[in-house]
Structure formats: structure tokens, C-alpha cells
Amino acid sequence: MLNLKEKKVIVTGGAGFLGKFVIDELGKKGCKDIFVPLIEEYDLRKIDEIQRMYKAAKADVVIHLAAVVGGIGANRENPGKFFYDNLIMGIQLIEEARLNNIEKFIALGTICAYPKFTPVPFKEEDLWSGYPEETNAPYGLAKKMLLVQSQAYRQQYGFNCIFLLPVNLYGPGDNFNPSSSHVIPALIKKFYEAKKDNKDEVVVWGTGKATREFLYVEDCAEGIVLAAELFDKPDAVNLGAGFEISIHDLAYKIKYIMGFEGKIVFDSSEPDGQPRRCLDTSKAYKEFNFKAKTDFDKGLKNTIDWYIKDVENEN
């Protein structure tokens, strides 16, 4: 077991949505020496900036959360950027970690790395059985290469790098920017604005038939830190809640919680993305005793309440 209390930890993306919760979770474990390379100070796509970060941090452990990411629209508009930025950042961070004798590296992948038509629930063994869904493929493949690198480095150099595959996250503090947000924050914002402006309908991308699985951000942070402490194997591990909900049902659930009286229109001219997403989460439980705790309706309400309060405080 890795005793985080005694370790210096770098958390890339530590100022972001997931990062803040990971830092809280590290604090609960007694970890006091945490280094967060802020985007304004370190461009982690550049090798000299990464080298400068490792020199400044003098760390033992790296938790790599930083990513250039967005929903279907953002993926469709930025395939080259999402591929290059995520790949170059991850590859160089891992290589420099090896050269700096980092004791353990925790790399985060993405559910977008799975093949478009993966049998449900997604098992880690299915990761290489097909090509990812087209709109997410450049991002998903860039992240998947970090698994290849981590396994190769373990084999050749004995470098302890683990690879986790979180499902779609949601929760308080999520990204609500319509040009880059994922489905839950995008829908919450749409329903909030439609209600405020007395609109009689909300348009939702796709047919509504696609399914997604969602993991509350606080639960994900707990899973990452448990893996950092307890997991030291080359295999990829899913982090999820182990359920799926259609976009149709999700939209109606948010409409009901937010008290929107109008109708929902599904725009089938826009893409659905991957047809189904639901993870087999048994390996995380077996290997490091992780199981998601947060009830989805409760997590959704927490997220909506946080957003409304945040927007109304701004105004």
C-alpha cells in the first residue's frame, strides 16, 4: 500500500472540476504536500515546461487529470487539437516522470477509448475489439495510447504506471460552457434558461435513444485515490457507477427536477454519439474496493442546486 501521507503528489488538472475533489480526497488521507501546476504557469504540452514542473515539485507521485476535452460538438470541431494536445501532454509527462524516478504515475483515460459497438456492460478486456465512435475517436485514441505507454514502460523499465477509465462525470462545479460542456451540464443550462425566458420547448441533440452512464465527481475522486494507494497492475480499470440511462430519460428527469413546463424536442439531425455506454465495474471493487456511493437522483439534484445558486450569485 502506498502511504500518501508521506508522499509529495503532483495533480495535473488539480484546479479543474475533478481535480478539486481529488485534492480534497488526498487531504482526507493526510496528504499535505500537493503540487498543482496551474495552466497559467505551466503549459504541459511543452517538454521544457514539464521539466520545469518536475524540478519545482520534487514529487514522488503524479496523478494526471489534465485533459483538453468537451462534448460531441467540441470533439467534432477540434479532432486534431484534442488528439495532439492530449497525446503530447500524456506521453511527455510519463517519459519525464520515468526520468525523474517518480515512484507511481496514475494516468486517466476515458470511456471514449472503447469501441463504438462494445458489448454492454463494457469490460476492460473489450478495449481493443474495435474502433471508437467517430466523433470521439481522436480524443479516445490519444488517451488510449497512454495505456500502451504505461504497459510498455512497466515491461521495459519497471515503471509503476496505472491506467483508469472513468465514465462520464457530473456534479457541482462542472463545466457549463455550452461550447465544451458534456450532456448533463448542457441540459441543466438549457432547461434553466428556457424556464427563465418562458420558452415552450427545449431542443436536445440526437434521437434520445443513446444511453450513458454517469459517475458523481466525488465518487470518482475517491476511486482515483484508492487506486493510487492500492493498485499496482498493468491492466486498465473502469471507474463507474454500473448503470445506464437513455438521453431521453435523462432529459425528462432534469426537466422534472427543474420544474420546466414546456416540451422536449429531440433533434435527430444531430449525432447521438456512441449508441450505449455502461461499464462493468467489478474489477475496481475487486482490486481496490471501489464502489460508487451517490444515488443518481441525489447527485443530479446537488448539481442542479449548485448551478442555480452559482448563476444567481453572479447576477
Tens of pLDDT, residue by residue over 233-264, are 999 999 999 999 999 999 999 999 999 999 99
Distance CA 232, CA 230 (A): 7
Per the prediction, the chain carries an average pLDDT of: 96
Strands (E), the chain: 8-12, 33-35, 61-64, 104-108, 161-166, 168-170, 201-205, 211-212, 214-216, 237-239, 245-246, 263-267
Q: What pTM did the predictor assign? A: 0.95
9-44 core/surface letters (b: 16 or more CB in 10 A; e: else): bbbbbbbbbbbbbbbebbeebebebbbbbeeeebeb
193 falls within a domain: no
**Close Cβ partners of 276 (under 8 Å, ≥ 6 residues apart):** 118, 120, 210, 211, 244
Residue that is written with C-alpha cell 481522436 in the block: 138
**Is residue 189 over pLDDT 90?**
yes
- In the chain, % of residues over pLDDT 90: 92
Q: Are 138 and 83 in contact (CB under 8 A)?
A: yes
Q: Does residue 74 surpass a pLDDT of 90?
A: no
CB 11 within 8 A of CB 24: no
72 has pLDDT over 80? no
Nearest to 311 by CA among 178, 192, 169: 192
**Domain annotation covers residue 58:** yes
The answer to whether residue 139 is catalytic is yes
In a domain, 252, yes or no: no
pLDDT of the residue at 69 = 82
**Does residue 159 form part of some domain?**
yes
Specify the pLDDT at position 179. 79
Residue with the three cell numbers 470518482: 220
Domain-located, residue 136: yes
Q: Which residue of the set 42, 54, 139, 153 is catalytic?
A: 139
> Which residue reads 514522488 in cell numbers?
60
Domain membership of residue 88 (yes or no) is: yes
Closest by Cα among 74, 104, 109 to 90: 109
Mean pLDDT across 191-206: 96
Question: Would you say residue 287 lies in a domain?
Answer: yes
Give 94-152 pLDDT, tens digit per residue. Answer: 999 999 999 999 999 999 999 999 999 999 999 999 999 998 999 999 999 999 999 99
Q: Which residue stretches of 158-281 are H helix?
A: 183-196, 217-230, 247-258
Q: What is the reported pLDDT for 55?
A: 98
C-alpha cell at 90: 500524456
Q: In this structure, are residues 87 and 144 in contact, taking their beta carbons and an 8 Å threshold?
A: no
- Cell 483538453, located at residue: 68
φ, ψ (nearest 5 deg) of residue 217:
-60, -40
Which band of pLDDT confidence, cut at 50, 70 and 90, is reported for residue 168?
very high
Mean pLDDT of the 203-217 span: 96
pLDDT of residue 173: 96
Kindly report the CATH number assigned to the domain that includes residue 91. Answer: 3.40.50.720
Query: What CA–CA distances, in Å, run from 249 to 143, 184, 216, 240, 270?
Result: 29, 12, 18, 19, 18
* pLDDT score recorded for residue 180: 79
* In a domain? residue 264: no
Is 223's pLDDT higher than 90? yes
How many domains are there within the chain? Answer: 1
Range of the domain at 231: 4-173+213-244+276-295
